[in-house]
């Protein structure tokens, strides 16, 4: 395929996007942003994709946005190109996504991981928003998503000092759902993805949408949204199949309709 900074593989109904600029610790340059977003959107449109895993290398998920590329830019370059706005399209993907993080997830790397729906960390993972040390601030949602994930106390400390968190601290703080031994990370991430992908695709998308609504609205409105979507799942064939299969004591065969 046409990508040069990432690799894309299919694993049944799961798909794997591997960030692949190892010499730069997977620093996220504009080309990589374009490729990740294009790959994720193409997979999202493909009805045979039920879950997308994003991973890096053993040493780095991604060590941030590409500093060399950003360094010479002016305000008007940044504003005119709406630098990093492309990442919003990754966050808007409807198919569930899993970040499988080993090694450094710093700056934009941490932000990309936080844009994914499920965040699995290897015991080698390091998370942080060290932008302040470069004289800048997070620019792909880190100040918002980290604060929502771990609360003001840790988010402020990380964003103001550039201190990083190891996997244990990230799990205690609620940033990651689980820590796995580094050697098992990809296997575990693909197992999670295959599990998600085995569910009804439209219903999984609705579940994702409902959870994400919690970050956008009040409790009353969020519960109301959930109730409307809950009613709507009864229009799917998969609801009938799921509940019939339970009644007949057999595994469901979802048709993703
Ligand atoms: C460009 C990067 C990079 C980055 C690493 N590299 N991070 N290149 N952008 N973000 C390159 C290095 O220049 C080096 O290239 C190679 O990767 C290996 O890195 P080393 O520093 O030699 O490795 P090591 O000593 O092991 O240190 C690893 C590290 C360090 C602690 C992760 O690389 C580091 O601090 N990186 C920057 C982390 C960071 O500040 N991230 C936030 C970026 S800003 P050469 O060619 O020398 O071998 C950001 C903001 C987003 O993400 C939005 C706001 C603007």
Q: Are strands 165-166 and 126-128 parallel, antiparallel or unpaired?
A: antiparallel
Cβ–Cβ < 8 Å for 213, 226: yes
In angstroms, rounded to a whole number, what is the distance separating the alpha carbons of residues 175 and 103? 15
Q: Which residues of 121-139 are buried (b: 16+ CB within 10 A; e: fewer)?
A: bbbbbbbbbbbeeeeeebb
Instruction: Say if the ipTM goes beyond 0.85.
Output: yes
pLDDT score at 2: 86
What is the residue with the minimal CA distance to atom 33 of ligand 1? 63
Annotated active-site residue 222? The verdict is no
pLDDT, one tens digit per residue, over 2-11 is 899 999 999 9
**Ligand 1 test: best mutation among 5, 61, 67, 83, most atoms within 8 Å of CB?**
67
Taken as a whole, the chain contains a residue count of: 257
pLDDT score at 91: 97
For residue 1, is pLDDT > 90?
no
Q: What percent of the chain has pLDDT over 90?
A: 99
pLDDT, one tens digit per residue, over 133-158 is 999 999 999 999 999 999 999 999 99
Annotated active-site residue 108? The verdict is yes
| pLDDT class of 21 with cuts at 50, 70, 90 | very high
pTM for this model (two decimals): 0.97
The catalytic position among 14, 111, 122, 197 is: 111
Cβ–Cβ < 8 Å for 104, 61: yes
pLDDT score at 27: 98
- Pocket lining: 103 vs ligand 1, CB cutoff 6 Å: no
Q: What is the 3-state secondary structure (H, E, C) of 191-257?
A: HHHHHHHHCCHHHHHHHHHHHHHCCCCCHHHHHHHHHHHHHHHHHCHHHHHHHHHHHCCCCCCCCCC
pLDDT score at 54: 99
**Cα 76 to middle of ligand 1, angstroms:** 25
In angstroms, rounded to a whole number, what is the distance separating the alpha carbons of residues 121 and 99? 8
């Amino acid at each position: 395929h046409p990508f040069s900074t990432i690799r894309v593989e299919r694993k049944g109904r799961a798909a794997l996007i591997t960030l692949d600029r190892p010499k730069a610790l997977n620093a996220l340059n504009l080309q990589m942003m374009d490729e990740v977003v294009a790959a994720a959107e193409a997979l999202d449109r493909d009805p045979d994709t039920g879950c997308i895993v994003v991973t890096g290398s053993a040493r780095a998920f991604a060590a941030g946005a590409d500093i060399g590329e950003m360094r010479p830019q002016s305000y008007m370059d940044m504003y005119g190109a709406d630098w990093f706005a492309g990442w919003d399209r990754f966050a808007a993907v409807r198919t569930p996504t899993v970040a499988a993080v080993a090694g450094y997830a710093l700056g934009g790397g941490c932000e990309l991981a936080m844009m994914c729906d499920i965040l699995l960390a290897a015991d080698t993972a390091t998370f942080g928003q060290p932008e302040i040390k470069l004289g800048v601030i997070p620019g792909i949602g880190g100040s918002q998503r980290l604060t929502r994930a771990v609360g003001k106390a840790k988010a402020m400390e990380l964003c103001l000092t550039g201190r990083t968190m190891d996997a244990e601290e990230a799990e205690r703080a609620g940033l990651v759902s689980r820590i796995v031994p580094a050697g098992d990370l990809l296997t575990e991430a693909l197992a999670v993805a295959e599990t998600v992908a085995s569910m009804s695709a439209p219903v999984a998308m609705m579940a994702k949408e409902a959870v994400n609504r919690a970050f956008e609205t009040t409790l009353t409105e969020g519960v109301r949204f959930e109730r409307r979507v809950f009613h709507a799942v009864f229009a799917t064939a998969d609801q009938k199949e799921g509940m019939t299969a339970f009644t007949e004591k057999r595994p469901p065969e979802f048709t993703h309709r």
